[in-house]
């Protein structure tokens, strides 16, 4: 019996010894460490509770900061640490504050000054520390310049001891001097003025252009930007710019032109003759034309001079003495010789029907091979104006001569009688009488059930209007008036409809304003929802022509309350307390140990 108790107690001690174990130093999560003296320990006894804290520059983002040593293992650490946020550092006048990395611990802000401003002090970056931004924002002060350089024979204004960025000074020269350069310079972003101008005397000499003459511009002395315009004498052409400007260097721009004699070039060739240029082909020179034996010069001009615009005449021709067969359009020969027509031959012509002759009808072949007194022409007969058409227009798109057509159009709302819109100009005049334009008429418009129209007539003229009206309790659907159209018909007639909108049925809603049944056309009602409900849709409805409420019935939706917040508590127990989620493992281990011990004891007693 003693041996049994001894074995039981030994087994219990073994089980308890194996369950109570120390924990090594916990690692913790990112950006955190142990608090207090626990940071110096390497091992921790069973049941030891330690607490973590976020590192400098980090703040808790939720979760429990404590864990407990339990059977050689630490419970789960739920603490989360995130970088602290410094927020906005403010603004810098005449500058910008940017946060390229962000505004959290370890990030840097960047300060830049606007053009023309410099940073004081010159600290363009500030670090976000554990306590916030680690320095004050700098200031952006305006850039200043010393006075600009003085100019001989000139002055500038305003005169000051210093000038702010972009401040401008104006230069001005004394009389007879010209400003060479910009008249104004400004204080730059670098604290300096741009290059100053100079004051110079500008005098350009009077241009000397042979065979040229001044036609416009200044007279001597020629100062800066004076302009002169030259042209060449007749027969000369200018090479270069005709208008010159006196430059700042006292030289004419773009340089003096020259006047060269015009070159007429070759005048061409003459068949059965020759063209010679004994003097040349330039302005003032003459060419000479000669015809071969048996040919005559037409016209008889043997010399042509090279003028200011070119050769001053066309080359003559060398022709055999013959008169060509007359070519008279729309004419025909009625008497006289046949080709070839010799000197003094005669021919007589008449015009075809619809044409009248202008000129002599009988021609004689002259010594120069030309018909005398010249060829007549046959012109189309002119029918003149055909008159006017009331309520229409008469146009002559082709003209009023033989073969042309006039076009008649009636105004909108009028018909052509007879329907002949074109009339031809014939040999004896216009070949038909003008039509007339009669007003379009319409039959009476359609009748409307439960309605009437006025006025009532057998027919209606174009654009005449009738008005529709409905009987009591009926509403007009469509336009109240229609008119007789250009096509001889009335537009679509309206209808008379009975408009009745049913009383709205809106669950959990009450009418607070508006009409009562029956609801007629354009009646309005206004609804609100009962307490605890919210209206979705328009609160005011209007009865439409289709007996439907517009813009559609709203609905009353129940208001859903937000979910209640929940809390989580953690309880730490020791082995002596009732079973909890934390010591459930220990109790289970002890229970198993007791069960094994009892089983061994029973087997031992059965054996003995």
Q: Residue 460: what pLDDT?
A: 95
Pairing of strands 422-426, 346-351: unpaired
CATH code of the domain containing 554: 2.10.70.10
Range of the domain at 475: 441-498
CA distance 93 to 141: 9
Residues 330 and 303 grouped into a single domain: no
pLDDT higher than 70, residue 38: yes
pLDDT higher than 60, residue 490: yes
Q: Residue 599: what pLDDT?
A: 36
Is the overall model pTM greater than 0.85, yes or no? no
DSSP 559: P
Q: Residue 19: what pLDDT?
A: 59
The answer as to whether 405 is a domain residue is: yes
Q: Residue 192: what pLDDT?
A: 94
Residue finishing a domain among 357, 379, 401: 379
The answer as to whether 582 is a domain residue is: no
Q: Which residue has the higher pLDDT, 373 or 293?
A: 373
Residues 448 and 397 grouped into a single domain: no
Tell me the percentage of the chain whose pLDDT exceeds 70: 89
Order of strands across the sheet with 184-186? Answer: 154-157, 168-173, 184-186
pLDDT in tens, 551-573: 999 999 999 887 766 554 433 33
Give the pLDDT band of residue 368 (cuts 50, 70, 90).
confident
Q: Residue 592: what pLDDT?
A: 30
Distances (CA, A) of 61 to 26, 54, 67, 389: 20, 10, 17, 96
The answer as to whether 362 is a domain residue is: yes
Q: Residue 565: what pLDDT?
A: 63
Q: Residue 569: what pLDDT?
A: 42
Give the position of tokens 């042209």.
Answer: 231
pLDDT higher than 90, residue 350: yes
Give the pLDDT band of residue 415 (cuts 50, 70, 90).
very high
Residues 328 and 375 grouped into a single domain: yes
Q: Please state the rounded mean pLDDT for residues 217-228.
A: 93
The answer as to whether 57 is a domain residue is: yes
Q: Please state the rounded mean pLDDT for residues 190-214.
A: 93
State the average pLDDT for the chain.
87
Residues 109 and 128 grouped into a single domain: yes
Smallest Cα–Cα separation from 480: which of 470, 467, 461? 467
Q: Residue 566: what pLDDT?
A: 57
pLDDT higher than 90, residue 11: no
Backbone dihedral angles phi then psi of residue 604, each to the nearest 5 degrees = -70, -45
Q: Which two tokens stand for residue 352?
A: 């075809």
Q: Residue 49: what pLDDT?
A: 94
The answer as to whether 503 is a domain residue is: no
The answer as to whether 15 is a domain residue is: no
Residues 286 and 314 grouped into a single domain: yes
Q: Residue 473: what pLDDT?
A: 87
The answer as to whether 571 is a domain residue is: no
Residues 64 and 74 grouped into a single domain: yes
**Residue 142 CB contacts under 8 Å (≥ 6 apart), including other chains:** 94, 116, 117, 164, 165
pLDDT in tens, 141-150: 999 999 999 9
Q: Please state the rounded mean pLDDT for residues 507-517.
A: 93
Q: Residue 294: what pLDDT?
A: 64
Angle between helices 2-19 and 584-607 (to 10 degrees): 160
Are 515 and 540 in contact, with CB atoms under 8 Å apart? Answer: no
Among 17-21, 281-285, 387-391, the least confident range: 17-21
Q: Residue 185: what pLDDT?
A: 95
Q: Residue 453: what pLDDT?
A: 95
pLDDT in tens, 223-274: 999 999 999 998 898 999 999 999 999 999 999 999 989 999 999 999 999 9
The answer as to whether 385 is a domain residue is: no
Total domains present in the chain:
9
Residues 517 and 548 grouped into a single domain: yes
């Amino acid at each position: 019996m003693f041996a049994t108790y001894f074995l039981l107690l030994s087994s219990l001690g073994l089980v308890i010894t194996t369950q109570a174990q120390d924990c090594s130093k916990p690692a913790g999560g990112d950006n955190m460490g142990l608090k207090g003296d626990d940071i110096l320990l390497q091992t921790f006894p069973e049941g030891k509770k330690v607490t973590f804290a976020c590192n400098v520059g980090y703040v808790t983002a939720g979760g429990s900061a404590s864990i407990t040593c339990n059977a050689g293992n630490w419970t789960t650490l739920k603490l989360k640490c995130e970088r602290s946020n410094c927020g906005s550092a403010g603004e810098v006048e005449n500058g910008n504050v940017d946060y390229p990395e962000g505004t959290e611990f370890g990030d840097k802000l960047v300060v830049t000054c606007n053009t023309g401003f410099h940073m004081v002090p010159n600290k363009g970056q500030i670090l976000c520390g554990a306590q916030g931004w680690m320095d004050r924002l700098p200031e952006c002060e305006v850039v200043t310049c010393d006075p600009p350089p003085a100019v001989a024979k000139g002055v500038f204004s305003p005169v000051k001891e210093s000038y702010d960025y972009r401040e401008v000074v104006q230069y001005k020269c004394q009389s007879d001097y010209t400003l060479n350069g910009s008249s104004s310079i400004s204080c730059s972003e670098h604290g300096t003025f741009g290059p100053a101008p100079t004051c110079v005397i500008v005098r350009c000499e009077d241009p000397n252009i042979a065979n040229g003459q001044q036609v416009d511009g200044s007279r001597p002395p020629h100062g800066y930007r004076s302009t002169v315009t030259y042209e060449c004498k007749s027969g000369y052409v200018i090479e270069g710019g005709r208008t010159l400007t006196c430059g700042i260097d006292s030289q004419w721009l773009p340089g003096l032109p020259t006047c060269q004699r015009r070159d007429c070039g070759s005048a061409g060739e003459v068949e059965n003759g020759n063209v010679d240029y004994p003097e040349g082909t330039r302005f003032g020179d003459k060419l000479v034309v000669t015809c071969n034996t048996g040919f005559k010069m037409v016209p008889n001009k043997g010399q042509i001079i090279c003028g200011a615009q070119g050769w001053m005449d066309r080359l003559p021709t060398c022709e055999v003495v013959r008169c060509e067969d007359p070519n008279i359009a729309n004419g025909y020969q009625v008497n006289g010789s046949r080709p070839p027509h010799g000197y003094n031959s005669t021919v007589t012509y008449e015009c075809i029907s619809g044409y009248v002759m202008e000129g002599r009808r009988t021609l004689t072949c002259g010594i120069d091979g030309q018909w005398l007194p010249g060829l007549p022409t046959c012109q189309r007969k002119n029918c003149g104006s055909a008159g006017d058409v009331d309520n229409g227009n008469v146009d002559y798109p082709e003209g009023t001569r033989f073969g042309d057509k006039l076009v008649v159009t009636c105004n909108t709302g009028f018909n052509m009688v007879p329907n002949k819109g074109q009339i031809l100009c014939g040999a004896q005049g216009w070949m038909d009488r003008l039509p007339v334009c009669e007003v379009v008429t319409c039959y009476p418009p359609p009748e409307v059930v439960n309605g009437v129209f006025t006025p009532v007539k057998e027919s209606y003229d174009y654009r005449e209007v009738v008005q529709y009206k409905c009987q009591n309790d009926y509403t007009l659907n469509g336009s109240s008036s229609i008119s007789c159209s250009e096509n001889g018909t009335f537009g679509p007639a309206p209808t008379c409809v009975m408009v009745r909108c049913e009383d709205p049925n809106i669950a959990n809603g009450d009418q607070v304003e508006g009409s009562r049944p029956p609801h007629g056309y354009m009646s309005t009602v206004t609804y609100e929802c009962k307490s605890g409900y919210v209206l979705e849709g328009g609160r005011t409805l209007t009865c439409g022509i289709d007996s439907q409420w517009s813009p559609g019935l709203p609905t009353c939706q129940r208001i859903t309350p937000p979910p209640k917040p929940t809390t989580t508590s953690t309880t730490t127990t020791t082995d002596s307390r009732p079973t909890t989620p934390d010591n459930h493992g220990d109790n289970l281990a002890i229970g198993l140990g007791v069960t094994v011990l009892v089983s061994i004891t029973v087997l031992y007693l059965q054996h003995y």
